[in-house]
C-alpha cells in the first residue's frame, strides 16, 4: 500500500519463498501473499517474472536483484522480504547506476539496526517482543502440555525513510 500511495505502478518481490521443509512457518510466503493481495486490491498485478526467490545469502540475493534490474522493463519498486536482502538490492542498484529512489523504490522488512543508517524504508516487526512471547508460550506449554496452542499476531509498522 505504501508503494502504491507513492505512485509506483511496476512492482517486484524478492525473498526466500521456497525455504527448506524443516521450517514450519513460511513467513516469506505470507509476505508475498499480502503484497500480491494489496496490489490486486489496487488494480495492479505481480507477474511471475517480477517474483524472484532467493535464499538469504548475499550472492544469491544479488543475482536475483541483477536479474530483476536487467529485465527489458525493470520494476520501479521492489519489496524485499528482509532488510538484509534489501541491502543486497541496494548494492546491485548502485553498481548498475540505478538511483534509489529516483529510478527504483525499495522496501525491506524487519527494521534491523542498519536499516536506519542506510535510510531504508522498511516494515518494522518487533523481534524482541516476538522472541519474549515465544519463550513465554514455550515455557507455559512445558508446564501444561495440554494447554491449547496460541497464535499471536504482533502489529507491524511502515517506517518510511529515503528509499521510497
pLDDT in tens, 49-87: 999 999 889 999 999 999 999 999 999 999 999 999 999
- What's the whole-number mean pLDDT along residues 85-91? 98
pTM: 0.88
**Bond prior to 149 in cis (omega within 30° of 0):** no
Check whether 23 has a pLDDT greater than 60.
no
- CA dist 6 to 1, 10, 72, 78, 164, Å? 9, 12, 23, 13, 8
At residue 97 the predicted structure's pLDDT band, cuts being 50, 70 and 90, is very high
pLDDT value at 24 more than 80: no
- Does residue 20 have a pLDDT over 70? no
Mean pLDDT value across residues 104-109: 98
Amino acid at each position: 500500500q505504501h508503494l502504491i500511495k507513492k505512485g509506483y505502478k511496476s512492482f517486484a518481490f524478492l525473498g526466500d519463498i521456497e525455504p527448506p521443509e524443516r521450517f514450519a512457518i513460511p513467513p516469506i510466503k505470507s509476505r508475498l501473499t499480502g503484497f500480491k493481495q494489496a496490489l490486486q486490491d489496487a488494480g495492479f498485478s505481480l507477474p511471475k517474472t517480477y517474483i524472484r526467490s532467493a535464499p538469504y545469502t548475499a550472492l544469491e540475493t544479488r543475482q536475483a536483484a541483477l536479474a530483476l534490474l536487467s529485465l527489458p522493463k525493470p520494476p520501479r519498486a521492489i519489496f524485499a522480504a528482509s532488510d538484509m536482502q534489501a541491502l543486497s538490492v541496494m548494492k546491485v542498484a548502485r553498481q548498475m547506476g540505478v538511483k534509489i529512489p529516483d529510478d527504483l523504490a525499495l522496501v525491506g522488512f524487519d527494521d534491523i539496526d542498519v536499516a536506519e543508517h542506510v535510510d531504508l524504508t522498511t516494515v518494522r516487526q518487533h523481534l524482541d517482543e516476538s522472541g519474549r512471547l515465544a519463550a513465554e508460550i514455550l515455557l507455559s506449554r512445558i508446564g501444561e502440555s495440554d494447554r491449547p496452542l496460541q497464535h499471536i499476531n504482533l502489529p507491524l509498522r511502515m517506517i518510511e525513510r529515503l528509499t521510497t
